[in-house]
Amino acid sequence: MKNKILIDVERLKYPKSGIANVCISLIKGLDELKFDFQFTFYGPAKNIPKTKSDFKIINWKFWQKRFPVKTSGFDLIHTTHQLSEYFHNKKSRQKKVVTLHDLNFLHDKSSAKKVKKFTNLVQKNVGNADAIVCISEFVKEDFIKNRELFKLKENVVIDVIYNGLIFSENENFSSGRMCDFQNKKFILTIGVLYPKKNQHVLLEMMNHNDRDLVLITSAAKSDYKGLFLAKIKELRLEKRVHILENVSNEEKFFFLKNCEAYCHPSLAEGFGIPPVEAMYFGKPVFLSRFTSLPEIGGNLAFYFDNFDAEKMNEVYLKGLEDFKNDSEMPKKLHQHALKFSYKSMAESYENLYKKLLS
């Protein structure tokens, strides 16, 4: 009889989020493997992709936080992010895997109240875990450094499995938006407008060049978003900054394929999906040196050593020159991105499930 595995993909409630993309990649990867398990996915059924395999689905309902789904029939539970509010309890015979994306709340100047809240929630998820999977070596090091904040099982496995992405083989992407910047040189950045993403430094940099800036973000409101919009007006960049919300994957790939370069000056990233996507399209990528980004970008990315606007622009222009002078660079970037494939991620998780259940 096959072992039964329950995978929590509840974050598919937010289908355009990074974690949702990882959940979809995991489902697709497992669907293509010849596995020895019976998988059930817990999440909003309408957002769970169709598969060839006979996967089962438990449809997410808002009231299930108060009246939990019964899990007694499963041999292993996989919680796909450390702040999940589901499946905190398990039977003694069951195994549990938790994917840890980051501990950013310890580093992003969060209030003491928020730090306590998130620490408690992470504890509920990892406290009875048999394996904690970190999405980068940086996250693993950060978790081990802060291990004393959490009570863990004595023999817990702490491992690294990189996020896996689905790269479309379609070359004919399009956007239905009438954007006047499409015929100009534009810098692309992707991410929620939030202080740790640090996008405002790109506005200062633009005062030293003639590029447009395209930001793909969510429609969510925040104090930082208000400050970002005010900064655009202050610097008189209204005609050169373009904020796009509710962008489909098809459109996102279109802008990635057509941008001059991708910039990601984030202060805190557990992994960093958009830079990898930009590399897949052979685009020059400019990153901060913080947290996991140097690990993901390796020696193929260009790095901002500080956020002085003039220095950033120097790095940007010098990076573009180096990129243009190396005809092999697009190919190198593409090959680097392929290391982070959904298939590799799914195989690594399947091997971990086998190890825990053997």
Residue 54 is part of a domain; what is its CATH number? 3.40.50.2000
In a domain, 174, yes or no: no
Look at the chain and count its residues.
358
| Residues 319 and 347 reside in one and the same domain | no
Q: Verify that 346 and 334 share a domain, yes or no.
A: no
pLDDT in tens, 98-108: 999 999 898 87
- H helix intervals, 235-358: 249-258, 273-280, 293-297, 309-325, 329-338, 342-357
Residue 319 lies in a domain: yes
Rounded to whole angstroms, the Cα distance separating 348 from 358 reads: 15
77 and 201 inside one domain: no
Closest C-alpha to 358, from 155, 157, 30, 76: 76
Domain span at residue 210? 180-338
CB 266 within 8 A of CB 272: yes
CB 106 within 8 A of CB 73: no
Q: What is the pLDDT of residues 125-159, one digit of tens each?
A: 999 999 999 999 999 999 999 999 999 999 999 99
Regions in the chain scoring below 50 on pLDDT:
none
Q: How many domains does the chain have?
A: 2
19 with 87, same domain: the answer is: yes
Same domain, 153 and 7: yes
Farthest-apart Cα atoms in the chain, separation: 66
- Both 87 and 32 in a single domain? yes
- What pLDDT is recorded for position 60? 97
What sections of the chain are H helices per DSSP?
A: 18-32, 112-126, 137-145, 200-206, 223-234, 249-258, 273-280, 293-297, 309-325, 329-338, 342-357
The sign one gets for the Cα dihedral 275, 25, 250, 196 is: negative
Residue 27 domain-assigned (yes or no): yes
